[in-house]
Chains A and B, each alone.
Chain A
């Protein structure tokens, strides 16, 4: 096998992680790819529930009117392994949400990227083991 072919095959064959093969549900059926949004809000509640956690935030518009949004995030099981607990995201925390709105037009969205106002990503544990040793 040539080196080039090897590189291609490894790129698409072995390295599965980039593709959510067995994700819990079809996100594109739930959220609208034509409705990207950016929200800045204050956390009021964090539902640490399977299969996905949901972060409730209050978002103020230009007139000071407050709307409550629910943001879908990843599985709490994985977050626990990154070192997060139910106390890690306290009400009152300000977050920025980059995501897509629900297809039904309600105030629900998938949180593609969640960051703190200082730019740090919300759930990067910094303790990711980075895979096991080669055997």
Chain B
């Protein structure tokens, strides 16, 4: 793909001189890179380790857990980065919130839909209970707008048609439930890899000519050949698409096509994702991505976030093994139908 939409060259340069510098150096796609003089002060030459066959070594267990939202919150339009002071305040607030929730439980109103959920902090499911990489970005999506571009008219139509067809049939059977609830695929696994609300952990394993990325939630492994082979034939479509990779210096560049039109972005028919993974220090991979589909969005969009090293291993996520949730949801819907039919019968009698 063309790289004109994402300032890859400048971000890679910044990545090479370290995450701290990158995060302290606001730049949007298409904008001027931070002056070299400013970054040179903190720049440290760091050479990533290499595998036995000479690839830059990205292996290990990592997390892309973050509190940075994918799209920029309203009211922060045009503000791509928080200041150091703002970030410090946010970190303090987040810690205060977490300890309050751990003490008192998640604050929800009894008898509301929001309350019908187990307590996040009790089960260690609150993002703040896991390691996360704070950064100054106001959104994962880069650039002045920080949002996913508008849908094209034809994509809006496809979406409306799909919604109209599904309306009233959301609970008919398993096939009508979302892919995640059916344990088939999760949009956060992408690509692009986006943070999950919890268990946002990844493992990267490399072999000669291959890089494999496993997402703990929900167990998917993407095996990426780096031997220069072409993509699969266009007719073969897969949940996570078909990824091929190559190395540009210390950066792994992964190009993915051949998605279905269901995952990770419903109704995208010609999705093309380019990811760049650069290990910028022993504990950090800078993850950058660009998503495009001219039939879906009016322009491509790009994002970046740090991926941080964590201890331990990935735990098994055999999602379908005890997926009572799907059955409970459908049986709940049958019960509701039964009650509605009974009521209407009684109404007819009157």
Contact = CB atoms under 8 A, between A and B. Distances in A.
B208 interface: no
A129 B328 CA distance: 34
A123 B336 contact: no
A113 B122 contact: yes
Contacts of A16: 67, 69, 127, 197
Interface in A76-135: 76-82, 99-100, 102-106, 108, 110-114, 121-125, 128-135
A52 interface: yes
B325 A30 contact: yes
Contacts of B324: 52, 54, 70, 72, 108
Contacts of B124: 74, 78-79, 81-82, 123, 125, 128
B160 interface: no
Given A17-B67, A131-B94, A1 B128 contact: no
Contacts of B138: 13-14
A25 B329 contact: yes
A75 B199 contact: yes
Contacts of A129: 129-131
Contacts of B105: 113, 121
Contacts of A32: 116, 332
B76 A128 contact: no
A79 B111 CA distance: 26
A34 B199 contact: no
A133 B18 CA distance: 16
A29 B318 contact: no
A132 B111 contact: no
B69 A22 contact: no
B91 A131 contact: yes
A89 to B, nearest CB: 12
A36 B115 CA distance: 10
Given A24-B180, A25-B326, A135-B134, A13 B76 contact: yes
Contact of B73 (A14, A28, A102): A14
Given A76-B315, A104-B334, A20 B117 contact: yes
The secondary-structure label for the interface of chain A is mixed
B133 interface: yes
A66 interface: no
Interface string A25-46: 1111111111010000000000
Given A24-B180, A33-B116, A131 B73 contact: no
B75 interface: yes
Nearest to B88: A134
Interface string B307-344: 01000100111110111111011011111100000000
Nearest to A48: B322
Contact of B133 (A30, A78, A130, A135): A135
Nearest to A34: B111
A111 B118 CA distance: 5
Contact of B181 (A1, A13, A24, A70): A24
Interface in B101-139: 101-102, 105-107, 110-113, 115-135, 138
Contacts of B23: 135
Contacts of B75: 5, 8-9, 13
A74 B91 CA distance: 25
A112 B132 contact: no
A99 B239 CA distance: 35
B216 interface: yes
B122 to A, nearest CB: 5
Given A22-B196, A75-B123, A104-B334, A132 B133 contact: yes
For the complex of A and B, 3 pairs with smallest distance between CB atoms: A74-B123, A13-B73, A103-B332
Interface of A: 1, 5-6, 8-10, 12-18, 20-34, 36, 47, 49-52, 54, 70, 72-82, 99-100, 102-106, 108, 110-114, 121-125, 128-135
27 contacts: A10-B93, A13-B72, A17-B98, A20-B197, A25-B180, A25-B329, A27-B117, A28-B116, A30-B332, A31-B116, A33-B116, A49-B321, A50-B316, A50-B321, A51-B319, A77-B198, A77-B315, A79-B123, A81-B130, A82-B129, A99-B118, A103-B331, A110-B117, A121-B122, A131-B130, A131-B131, A132-B308
